[in-house]
Structure 1
Amino acid sequence: MKRRLALMIGGFCLSPLPQANAHPHIFAEARLEIVSDESGMLSELRNVWRFDEFFSSSVLLDFDHNSNLILDPGELKEIGDTIRESLGDYDYFTFITKNGAAAPVAKPEVFNADFRDNQLLVFFVAKPKEPVKIEGNLSIGVYDPTLYTAIDFTTDDEIQSIGSALSACTRQVVRPDPDEVIAQNQANLTEAFFNDPNGNLMGQLFATRVEFKC
């Protein structure tokens, strides 16, 4: 059960066809709060993900050990711990870039899980592994680099910035047009691209992100 959840969340597709990896299989609506502290550093990225009902029902079936059709606190903790471990190779779907250079995130202390209205919710806080000062050009995105999971911010208001350092920056939410992305990268979207064992970073091309100029 844990392996199945890790495979599903972590972005691995069991189908041998390269086309199967070219579109999402799991969907989640997201909210992100980007927080700067009083010293002008990026302090926290507060994530909330609400997964689609189909995926949520499969998680319920796998982790409802006492078959009461309710995810008890212990079962929810097991789900959160499993997702936390499985996303380690994917930077917890949370990506920070400062002046063009990647700033890795540290392993979140905890993933909290809940189950409401037949949907799985996950809450966690990501922090930069090394200090990131709010200056220059800062880009932050939450996405699955393999595109197996679609992380969707339904409106720009679902991405909030908190703190005076961020308030002093100009901010833009970037939503790439899928047709333009495909047209611009047509030469690279080959079978070898999709079968690349090191991952193809397809999700990065389509991901919604917020850019700050400070």
Structure 2
Amino acid sequence: MRKKTPLLLAILSFLPVPALAHPHIFIDAKFEVAAAPDGSIGELRNVWSFDEVFSSSVLMDFGKAGNQALTASELKAVGKTVRDSLAQYGYYTNVTIDGKAVPMAKPDDVKADYKNGSLTLSFSLKPEQKTFLKGTTIFGIYDKTLYTAVDFATDNDMTISGAALSRCKRKVIRPNPKEVMAENQAALTSMFFSDPKGTDYSLLVATRLEVQC
């Protein structure tokens, strides 16, 4: 395989990112919770469109020189790299039911596409064990290191589907970073010294989908 872009390596490897770090990679995301007929989580569907700088770097390192496109085999190589490496980050997917974490299995595959100068990744996740939607389920798609910014342009980019979810209420939560910092100043100071990756801060400011059943 051709050498991977430094930015791709950055998104897929552990990095010494300081607390409250500035994002270097930007994703426009769409997320869907699809329920199974029995009321359990069927699959979590993700579509990520990357910024032009990151996309062009992937094109340069995975594609043929001078060719502004990626072949099917090159796209497959990108998808495989992401599937294998993002596992250590849980694919930026964080799910809790009444505060208890729900582990996700590795996706069957990650499909990559490159059009109009943008790399797009599509994949679905399923819980490691059958998990029913009950109580309050919170879905968060974010990078705990804050190196990558995952953005949902509108509330309609975080959706639910399936007849079993007709009994549930959906709410998109968009915390205001400035308000979070003001309300948690003392705690954030402690985080800075105890957690150089700023993991806890990312939990406070991430856009989340809340489903109450």
The two structures have a TM-score, normalised by structure 1, of 0.89
1:140 is aligned to 2:110:
no
Alpha-carbon distance between aligned partners in 1 of 2:194 and 2:94, rounded to the nearest angstrom: 22
Task: Name the residue aligned to 1:10.
Answer: 12
* Shift of residue 200, structure 1, vs aligned partner: 2.3
Alpha-carbon distance between aligned partners in 1 of 2:66 and 2:161, rounded to the nearest angstrom: 42
How big is the alpha-carbon RMSD for the aligned residues of Structure 1 and Structure 2?
A: 2.0
Alpha-carbon distance between aligned partners in 2 of 1:84 and 1:4, rounded to the nearest angstrom: 17
Task: Name the residue aligned to 1:48.
Answer: 47
Unaligned runs of 5+ in 1: none
Mean CA deviation greater in 93-102 or 203-212 = 203-212
Aligned residue-pair number: 209
Task: Name the residue aligned to 2:155.
Answer: 156
* Shift of residue 66, structure 1, vs aligned partner: 4.9
Task: Name the residue aligned to 1:120.
Answer: 119
1:195 is aligned to 2:196:
yes
Task: Name the residue aligned to 2:175.
Answer: 176
* Shift of residue 47, structure 1, vs aligned partner: 0.3
Q: What secondary structure sits across from 1:2 in the alignment?
A: coil
1:208 is aligned to 2:210:
no
8 Å Cα contact 1:6-1:82 kept in structure 2: no
Task: Name the residue aligned to 1:24.
Answer: 23
Unaligned runs of 5+ in 2: none
Deviations 1:126-151 (A, max 9, x none): 11111110111111111111111111
Task: Name the residue aligned to 1:33.
Answer: 32
Alpha-carbon distance between aligned partners in 2 of 1:56 and 1:167, rounded to the nearest angstrom: 38
Percent of aligned pairs with the same amino acid: 45
Q: In 2 relative to 1, CA 6–70 (structure 1 residues): closer, same or farther, beyond 3 Å?
A: closer
Deviations 1:147-173 (A, max 9, x none): 111111000011110012222111111
Q: What secondary structure sits across from 2:103 in the alignment?
A: coil
